[in-house]
Amino acid sequence: MEIRTLRYFLAVARDENMTRAAESLHVTQPTLSKAIKSLEDELGQKLFTRQSFSIKLTDEGFLLRNRAEDLVSMADKIEQEFLTLDDITGGDLYFGLAESYQISFLAREINSFKQLYPDLRYHITSGDTSQVAEKLDKGILDFVVLAEMPDINKYESLIFPKTDTWGVIMPADVPLAQKEAITVDDLVGLPLFCSGQGWKNDIPRWAKDKMEDLHLEGSFGLVYNASVFAKEHLGYLLSFDKLVDTSPESGMVFRPLTPKLETNLYLVWKKYQTFSPIAERFLKKIQQDFGQKGKEIKPGTISF
């Protein structure tokens, strides 16, 4: 199975039309059709169902698409790394990011790093822990930022300089908004929005035995989308501070949880990872700037 053939397959899956895919790939349609047929023969599965004016992925095609995207991304990353081995002014960095106001620290690091290496190119993927950690494990990403303790058996990490504070984001005109801080009893019986990761890991350690009394109305991957639902009075959003506009003009407010609930943010990379030259330089710089040495983060470690 060749990477070129997988690129052909992904183009057809994207365009759902053999002619358009051939044009985008700058190959003839017979060449493309032959490559797809050869791939199906090699795998022993039909990857597309042919219709009058389009073609659709089969279940087996969907499975291959997911795998092919990772393989092609990895091939591109390897190729780019070797092309930039002798490039002392730049290269490519690949990050997977959680949502946090502390991403500003990372942005500043990248900005100052780019002053040293003006040809630096960086690529950002957003997602929850499982999504970005999977790409890190496969070697598609160099670093990920996680809002939970990383597995110290698999990863090394740095703690970001500050912590994220949990609270409730809600319309300013609801009675609960009059409180200065929110207790777990305040939330019993209310429709709540939260990320799946936060509902599983962070909220239980705050709510303790009252967790079973809380009602998750819906989970969201993107805080902004959840805030729109909260603004329409569909529920109350449990989230970090400083991710949603809660200025007086927004009509929304943030109220911290009490007792206070905080979460550390971690920059994470694989143990024994072989970095590209630019990634290795970036790690050394951020270790120096964060005042840490990239050692394994132990449970209970306090950020400075």
Are domains 82-162+264-290 and 164-262 of this chain identical in fold?
yes
Structure tokens at 243: 């991710």
- So where are the chain's domains? 3-74, 82-162+264-290, 164-262
Helix, strand, coil tally for the chain in percent (to 5) = 45, 25, 30
Structure tokens at 19: 């002619």
Which of 52-66, 150-164, 171-185, 217-231 has the weakest average pLDDT? 52-66
Q: Are strands 262-270 and 252-256 parallel, antiparallel or unpaired?
A: unpaired
**Contact status, residue 40 vs residue 46, Cβ threshold 8 Å:** yes
**Strand 236-240 relative to strand 119-126, pairing:** unpaired
| Mean pLDDT score, 212-222 | 94
Helix axes 18-25, 29-43, angle to 10 degrees: 110
Cβ-contact 193, 218 below 8 angstroms: yes
Maximum pairwise Cα distance, the chain: 68
Question: What value, to the nearest 5°, has the Cα angle with vertex 205 and ends 243 and 301?
Answer: 80
Share of the chain above pLDDT 70, in %: 92
Burial 258-297 (b: 16+ CB within 10 A, else e): eeebbbbbbbbbbeeeebbebbebbbebbeeebebeeeeb
155 vs 304, which has greater pLDDT?
155
CATH superfamily of 82-162+264-290: Periplasmic binding protein-like II (3.40.190.10)
84-116: burial string, b at 16+ Cβ within 10 Å, e else: beeeeeebbbbbbbbbbebbebbeebbeebeee
pLDDT tier at 215, thresholds 50, 70, 90: very high
Computed over every residue of the chain, the mean pLDDT equals 88
Does residue 78 register a pLDDT over 90? no
Please identify, in words, the CATH class of the domain defined by 164-262. alpha beta
Do residues 154 and 271 make contact, with C-beta atoms less than 8 angstroms apart? yes
Residue 47 vs residues 35, 58, 66, 170: alpha-carbon distances, Å: 12, 5, 13, 47
Render pLDDT for 124-171 as a digit per residue (tens, 0 to 9).
Answer: 988 788 888 888 998 889 999 999 889 999 999 999 999 999 999 999
Cross-strand pairs, 48: 57
User: What are 186-198's pLDDT values in tens digits?
Assistant: 999 999 999 998 9
CATH number of 3-74: 1.10.10.10
The pLDDT tens digits of the residues spanning 174-188 come to 999 999 999 999 999
Per-residue confidence (pLDDT) for residue 72, from 0 to 100? 82
pLDDT of residue 213: 97
